[in-house]
Amino acid sequence: MDPIVIVGGDAAGMSAASKFKREHPEREVVVFERGAYVSYAACGMPYYVKGEVASLDDLLTVTPEEFVEERGVDLRLHHEVVDVDAEERVVTVEGPDGRFTQSYDQVLVATGAHAVVPPFEGMDLAGVFTMHSLPEAEAVRDFLAAERPDSVAVVGGGYVGIEMAEAFDAHDVDVHLFEMLSHVMAPFGETVAKHVEDHLRDRGVHLHLDTAVERFVGDDRVTGVDTGESVVDVDLALVGVGVAPNTDLVEAAGVELGETGAIATDEYGRTNLPGVFAAGDCAEARHVVTGEPDHVPLALTANRAGRAIGQTMAGDETPVGDIAGTAVVKAFDLTAARTGIVDEDRAREAGFDPVSVTITAASRAHYYPGAEEITITMLGDRDSGRVLGATMVGREGVAKRIDTVAVALHEGATAVDLSYYDLAYAPPYSPVWDPVLTTAKVLDGKLG
């Protein structure tokens, strides 16, 4: 029997390979990875640049040698799949020794995503970086060490931009953050954004909101950021304006894409072509609130889908699972989190009649030292009473509280259901009425 072939060796691909080999150790699994690394923690790269993570090797979940020697996976680094022939069940591969073909029984496309490179003049200047791979993170840290810049620009106020602003600040440089929208962290909503913006300013970050970058200035290396109205002098620029799914390979093979631009799949990760699966940052998944396909490239989604597809390939059909878009971001001393649908316009487009409430509550019992404020915005549907999503921001207790709301979304819980959850209480960790419970009670009152 032909082997299982995996295209891409990060979270989804290696999770699938490992799961399949556990189920069928006698079967051959071949993984083609065009880079030098597999199964690495991309989310840890800002903390490597910051210096909190000492080595790139610390970001490796499982080494290539472990996959080969302990798990029996035929791993081929520096091998890029350039064509998939679903009719013949063959992939074409470019490797160090030239081009060759590999037949397959089933194939998983786990090609991930790439950093969006805006059409700015000067993107090719020395000192201008994107960061979506370990080599890019290493290049940024090496540049900081060698050049010791006085001022850096971060273009984009999303996850990467916020985390990299903190990373650069740790190197004692002036940080300028440019965001073309009126607020940073757009998916988290205006309430969270304003808290984060105030905190960034308090930490000395220069915010340039409603500011579109036109080009980078410099001869051989970057010396400034031109916004059309002014030029801000910088010695390094990091562009983090988002990611896009890697779909060129499968588009040429006839795999259908969804409305999001990512690969369309069914609940088991199957594409429209027989024997071809897709998972991870290149693929869509079903949103738990809307029931519709969505593209939210996050680590857990990729790992979970890859593992499920590995089991399905092994003969035990396993759904990849729904997503809620649950995410958390560290912004210096603040934590911001979100889950579900947090934008009222999007909720209306999905057919809901949204109602939102915002409360601010203490993270601990009022008498216990160290209590901090948590601000929570929660959305519900007036017709059904169902919780649609929430955002949170605060200095402590945010990261795990968002998970409570995520569970409620997966259960289809109403606001009154959530208000009755039996959550843990002790003065060092929560008031008697946890802020999530309080928000749900207030939301239920407004929905009623």
Please list the active-site residues.
43
Backbone angles phi, psi at 172, to 5 degrees: 60, 45
In this structure, what token pair is assigned to residue 434? 């946890």
Distance CA 318, CA 145 (A): 47
Q: Are 174 and 197 in contact (CB under 8 A)?
A: no
Side-chain half-sphere exposure of 260, counting CA atoms within 13 A: 21
* DSSP sequence for 37-58: --SB-GGGHHHHHHTSS--GGG
Backbone angles phi, psi at 354, to 5 degrees: -80, 145
Distance CA 333, CA 166 (A): 10
Helices 159-169/190-202 angle, 10° precision: 10
Q: Are 265 and 291 in contact (CB under 8 A)?
A: no
Distance CA 334, CA 326 (A): 17
Backbone angles phi, psi at 295, to 5 degrees: -130, 105
